[in-house]
Structures are given as C-alpha cells and as structure tokens.
Amino acid sequence: MNSTPKETIIKTNFGKINGEDIHLFTLTNKAGNQVSITNYGGIVTQWISADKNGKMSSIVLGFNELEKYVLDNPHFGALVGRYANRIAKGKFAIGNKEYTLATNNGENHIHGGIHNFSKVTWSAAIDEVSHALVLSYLSKDGEEGYPGNLSVTVRYRFTDDNELIIDYAAETDKTTVLNLTNHCYFNLTGDVNNKVTDHTIQINASHYTPVNEHQIPTGVIASVAGTPYDFTTAEKIGTRINETDGGYDHNYVIDNPSVKKATAIVTEESSGRKLEVYTDQPGIQFYTGNSLDGSHHTNDGQAITRQSAFCLETQHFPDSPNQPSFPSTLLHPGEKYHTITKYRLTTAQR
C-alpha cells in the first residue's frame, strides 16, 4: 500500500450568509502542510506548518468560525479591493469625471470601502490539474462608487515547496482604478503572545513613500537611509520601532520587483521559520498591527493585541489615483490586469 502523502484540496461547509452556503477549502501539500481558504472574502484562515521542533501551528491569524469574519475585523487574511490601502478623502478623478467613495478610515477611503472584496462571496472552483483554488467575482459598475463592471479571478495555489502563490487577474468594461492584495497577518511563532518585534526583517527597498498625519502619501519618494524605515539589511522589527509614529504602516518602493527575487525576508529564531515574499508589484506595505487592541481573540481565546502580528501587503502605492508621479493604477477596457505574489515558508532543521 502506498502511504506517500498526496496533494489534496478538501471542500467543507463553513456556514451560511443570507441563506447562501459558504465553504472552506483546505489545500494540503505532500509534506502535510495546510492552507485553508474560504470563498467568503477569499480569506486565508490558517497556514499550518511545523516549526524546527516539529510543533504544528498556524503562522497566520484567523478564526474557525465564519461569524467572526462577518463581524468587523481588521481584514484578517482577506482579499481586499477594489483598491487596497488608502485613497485620500475618498475621491479620485478619471479624466474630467470625479468619483466619490466611502470614507471608512477617518476622512479617507481604505481597502475598497464598506462592502469591499473581503465582505463578498466569491464563486469557487477547484482546478485539479494545477492543484489550485480559483475564486471569481463580478464587481458591478458603481459598486462602492467605483466605475466599470470588473471581472476578477484569483487563483490560490499551495505547492510542495510550501509556497502560497496568489495569482490575480481582472478585466473591466469601463476605465477604473484597481489595486488588489491579500491581507494576511503573520506571526511566525504561531503564538500571538509573542510580539513580532522580535522577528527579524529585511525589505529590499531603498525608498519609501512618507505619509501625512492621515497616512496619506505626501507624493515624495524618499530614501530610507538614515531613517527607522531602513530594512535594506536585516534587523529586528523592534529595534527602531519606537522612533516611528506608533509603529510601521508604510509603503516601500521595491527595488527591482520580481517573482524570482525575494522582496522581503522575515525570520524568527525560536521557531526556525523564514518567510519570503516575492512580487511583481511596485510596492509593499509593511504593517505591524498597531491597531490591534485585544478586542479580537484567537480560536483558543488569546487576545490579539498590538504588534502581535505583521502584514506584508504587495500592492501599488497608496493614493496613486491622486498622485500623478506614482505608477498608474488605471485599468482600461481591453486591458488585462495580472499580478502574482508568492509567500514561501521554510523552516531550519534542528
């Protein structure tokens, strides 16, 4: 009898929303590591892998109950869009036409609005050939204030090399703006009681986009040299975090973005885990969970508090629709939006 582990995708019920069945898809690779994703919000609910001591735990924050995602939460594990990150005062123009969006982050718009992509049910299919979960959604013209009927497809693939590959594609019938990302919160120890300030990070970005008091870019692309935002060489997240205004929540301008060269590398000594992020996007938002206030709890009841997780959101720059010097986020009819992000997890041998 052949007992060799086999790649699988298992579909299970995850609850109902407005009478509609929601499912959880668990992708298992040949090493027995697992990533679970629900078609509600395209949310990654867990990524289970062994640490250097053989202990299995999830390196992403998430819940085992659908209801906790339906209630307000800080986009744990979710697909966000149409526009990830912030748009100043919820307004932008395409040509002579101005569009108005929800202001759901103080006076600004964030992550696509109130009923954004993390709050919708995606159609789901399993691609047995490429061992991928394929999610699709039609965002209708005017949804959350955005123009155009936007057809979006996101493929999640989990490889035997412990890589979570996210492939985004979209088309529109009217010129619109688009900036998609995944909002996983990581803690490589698998325990939110361990602050991520002890993780070590390197970000291959020699520039970043400074922000004003409302977290909106000033329009300047500045050097990280001599600032607490310089992670061009690896150092602990907490080394200079107190020199920032409440923690890291900044967009880094990636040096030579490529899915073949790591943009960011995070290591954690006690677990032996290393997370590498690869992307073809021009930016990556490094966020240290500054707003986590203990109001959410893990499945085993632990409070999720400030700096108990970090995010590395691959993206275009915040407020690009209002910043002509930033790379454009316009998508025109007849064009195909396509971008790939890869998260690769390895573990040191004991």
pLDDT tens, residue by residue, 38-70: 999 999 999 999 999 999 999 999 999 999 999
Task: Categorize the per-residue pLDDT at 350 as very low, low, confident or very high, splitting at 50, 70 and 90.
Answer: low
In SS3 terms, 331-348 reads as ECCCCCEEEEEEEEEEEC
Q: What is the mean pLDDT of residues 235-251?
A: 97
252, 208 contact by CB (below 8 A): yes
- Judge residue 115's burial from the number of C-beta atoms within 10 Å of its C-beta, 0-12 exposed, 13-18 middle, 19 or more buried: exposed
Q: Is the pLDDT of residue 3 over 70?
A: no
Instruction: Give residue 5's pLDDT.
Output: 62
Percentage of residues in the chain having pLDDT higher than 70: 98
List, edge to edge, every strand of the sheet that includes 34-38. Answer: 8-17, 20-28, 34-38, 43-50, 56-58
Catalytic positions, written as ranges:
183, 313
> With 70 as the cut, is the pLDDT of residue 33 above it?
yes
Tokens coding 86: 């912030």
Strands 132-139 and 150-158: antiparallel
For residue 3, what are the contacts with CB-CB under 8 A and spacing of at least 6? none
Q: Is the alpha carbon torsion for 257, 262, 268, 271 positive or negative?
A: positive
For the cut 90, the answer to whether the pLDDT of residue 12 exceeds it is: yes
Strand partners, 125: 134
Which whole number is the average pLDDT over 93-103?
97
- For the cut 70, the answer to whether the pLDDT of residue 2 exceeds it is no
Is the model's pLDDT at 4 over the cut of 90?
no
Q: How confident is the model at residue 72 (pLDDT cuts 50, 70, 90)?
A: confident
Q: What's the confidence (pLDDT) of residue 152?
A: 98
Structural domains in the chain? 8-347 (2.70.98.10)
If residue 68 lies in a helix (H) or strand (E), which one and from where to where?
helix 66-70
Q: What is the predicted pLDDT for the residue at 1?
A: 43
Residue 349 pLDDT class (50, 70, 90 cuts): confident
Residues 6+ away with beta carbon under 8 Å from 239: none
Cis status, amide bond into 82, omega within 30 of 0: yes
Q: What is the mean pLDDT of residues 8-26?
A: 96
What is the average per-residue pLDDT within 295-316? 97
Task: Please count the helices (runs of H) and the strands (runs of E) in the chain.
Answer: 1, 29
